[in-house]
Amino acid sequence: MKKRVLITGADGFLGRSLVAALAASGECEVLVAQDVREVPVDRRLPGVVYEQQDVRDANVVDALRRHGIDTVVHLASIVTPGRGSNREFEYSVDVLGTQNLLQACVNAGVAHLLVSSSGAAYGYHADNPDWLVETDPLRGNEVFAYSHHKRLVEEALELYRQVQPQLKQTVFRIGTILGETVDNQITALFEKPRLIAIQGSDSPFVFIWDQDVTGAFLHALRTGREGQFNVAGDGALTIHEIARRLGKKTRNFPASVLAGVLWVGSRLGLSRYGPEQLDFLRYRPVLDNRRLKEQLGYRPAKTSAEAFEAFVAARAAQGRAL
């Protein structure tokens, strides 16, 4: 039976890809693309209902009822805050917006909720295991807004799994996404003439190709399987391996020196990042994807290394060699 699907954050990076894939598949009886911004006419696809709405809006439930939605894909989140952003605003969107949507789903009788969480929910800690699995505790650091908010979102999701079990949940803890057009805080690290490395830390990265993220959502929508899943390609690359693949060297700092440099840079207004970023660089969560493959039944097409190589090749094809 065809589903009646609503996607939040539908005009974001992941949202556009998923909307396009679902629209092309013809698998949805109704497909509603909802975003806080109005989607320009030239980006609208036939057969898709576009609506402008904030996930914090109390009237979200009305849209779910009006379209008879049975499945919600929640992608709305602030991944890279703009310069005018602040912690209170980001909390209101990421955490309060999700709580609002959760209750709206219950009130409207939605059957299945799929959520884009992040490996950042595990937190950046010295005692993280080498490979994090879905049963490991979520300890998103308060000092990192995104990491902390993803932890709080997952705590809200866990509460609803206990008190509203009729609402099935599929939660994806996604690794570092790479794609042909990706530009973010992580990819900016790879653009430097020499990559920053911290003595005593390999700073391993797990990557996932953007189309594999879309593929995981499509698979979960089609199968209706619920649970929490790490979404990452096989394997990981250390910062030193990344540098070698780029034909670059690393600039190796003692942790104390780099913390001092970041502190001075933030105080002088030369950098938006302070010494807290040290843990973001040296204690990166490394995601084990066995549950994704064995329980959800989805195998990413690209490994971490292949996703990185595809990203580098795409940049070169665009005349933007790293």
pLDDT tens per residue across all 322 residues of the chain: 689 999 999 999 999 999 999 999 999 999 999 999 999 999 999 999 999 999 999 999 999 999 999 999 999 999 877 777 899 999 999 999 999 999 999 999 999 999 999 999 999 999 999 999 999 999 999 999 999 999 999 999 999 999 999 999 999 999 999 999 999 889 998 999 999 899 989 999 999 999 999 999 999 999 999 999 999 999 999 999 999 999 999 999 898 888 887 777 777 776 666 777 888 889 999 999 999 999 999 999 999 999 999 999 999 999 988 8
If one looks up domain 3-177+208-232+288-301 in CATH, what number appears? 3.40.50.720
CA distance 111 to 32: 16
CA distance 275 to 283: 14
* Chain length of the chain: 322
Instruction: Centre a 10 Å sphere on the Cβ of residue 30 and count the other Cβ atoms it contains.
Output: 17
Residue 163: Cβ-neighbour burial (10 angstroms; 0-12, 13-18, 19+): exposed
Residues 6+ positions from 81 with CB-CB distance below 8 Å: 90, 145
Provide the 3-class DSSP secondary structure of residue 265.
Answer: helix
- Can you give the pLDDT at residue 270? 66
> Element (H or E) spanning 312, and its range?
helix 304-317
- Can you give the pLDDT at residue 215? 98
- Can you give the pLDDT at residue 82? 75
Q: Which amino acid is at 133?
A: V
The token pair that represents 15 in the structure block? 């949202």
- Can you give the pLDDT at residue 116? 98
- Can you give the pLDDT at residue 83? 76
CA dihedral in degrees (225, 228, 231, 236; nearest 10)?
Answer: -140
